[in-house]
Amino acid sequence: MTMNYFRRSLMAAAILGFLVAPFATSVAHAADITVFAAASLKNALDDAAKLYEQKTGDKVVISYAASSALAKQIESGAPADIFFSADLDWMDYLAKANLINTASRQTLLGNTLVLIAPKDSTVSLTIAKDFPLLGALGADGKLAMANVDSVPAGKYGKAALTNLGVWEAVSPRVAQAENVRAALAFVAKGETPLGIVYGTDAKSEPTVKVIGVFPEDSHPKIQYPVVLLASAKPEARKFLDFLVSPEARPAFEAQGFSVLSGQS
């Protein structure tokens, strides 16, 4: 693989990540329930929405992207009813802008952070203080991560590597993607030998394998809050109630999420 090819792949992923959210909302109708959700939620939330649609006949349109990108779009006036973030920071960001229905906010899900490699990789690592991550990348291999400055998965990953004492050494070799699913795709396609994603992402992609799980105390707790936006249509309340109900729980647990108490 040439460096030019890799750069083109990065650019394509960036364009895809930017387009995911606007495209999904462009096909929504006025009566549809529109959800902006973190990219890592796709498999589980698609399954939950399908159950809800079958039960109620309502239509749910879901727009997936990085939580950071979605929050910025909401701030800019993008029409949505529900925001489902992969961290508390971007939910707090919208709260400070008075763009959410604070009373409806619930922290619903938890996740793990894992190091992955292509299925046929021979890399073996034990994640611990000062573990030899740089050497495992080889002479010129990259480490795929979501954007470490803004995207929750990237922020969690940078925190973990920093706490484990390897961030400074490996940071020049990080290939940053627009969202965690784009980082997953780099590893799945063999474009990078290693990547950091959520445990649920790894579970969703059969062409990768988990090398190790980052210790919970190496990064902030991974939490997914969900909320009605201040401009939400009345029908959206029913879907939010469904998401936090026992009926939706199996859809999330099947993909590897932990279901939390629902407290804000």
Region 25-33: mean pLDDT is: 61
How many CB atoms are located within 10 Å of the residue 120 CB? Answer: 8
Region 240-244: mean pLDDT is: 97
Region 233-242: mean pLDDT is: 96
Enumerate the β-bridge partners of residue 36.
63, 83
Region 229-251: mean pLDDT is: 96
Catalogue all structural domains in the chain, each as residue range(s) with its CATH number.
3-110+223-259 (3.40.190.10), 113-218 (3.40.190.10)
Q: What is the mean pLDDT of the chain?
A: 90
Residue 261: band (very low, low, confident or very high) from pLDDT cuts 50, 70, 90: low
Looking from the CA of 109 toward its CB, the CA atoms found within 13 Å total 31
Segment 47-91, tens digit of pLDDT: 999 999 999 999 999 999 999 999 999 999 999 999 999 999 999
Sort 8 into a burial class: Cβ within 10 Å, 0-12 / 13-18 / 19+.
exposed
Q: Would you state the pLDDT for residue 11?
A: 46
Q: Which residues contact 248 (CB under 8 A, 6 or more apart)?
A: 48, 51, 52, 242
Work out the percent of the chain whose per-residue pLDDT is above 70. 87
Sheet containing 113-118: order of strands:
174-177, 143-146, 194-198, 113-118, 208-213
Task: Tell me the residue type at 38.
Answer: A
Tokens of 51: 């159950």
* Among 219, 185, 210, CA closest to 125: 210
Region 164-180: mean pLDDT is: 98
* Among 98, 164, 75, CA closest to 126: 164
Least confident segment among 29-43, 70-84, 139-153: 29-43
Q: How far from the centroid of its chain's Cα atoms is residue 172's Cα? A: 23
Segment 173-230, tens digit of pLDDT: 999 999 999 999 999 999 999 999 999 999 999 999 999 999 999 999 999 999 999 9
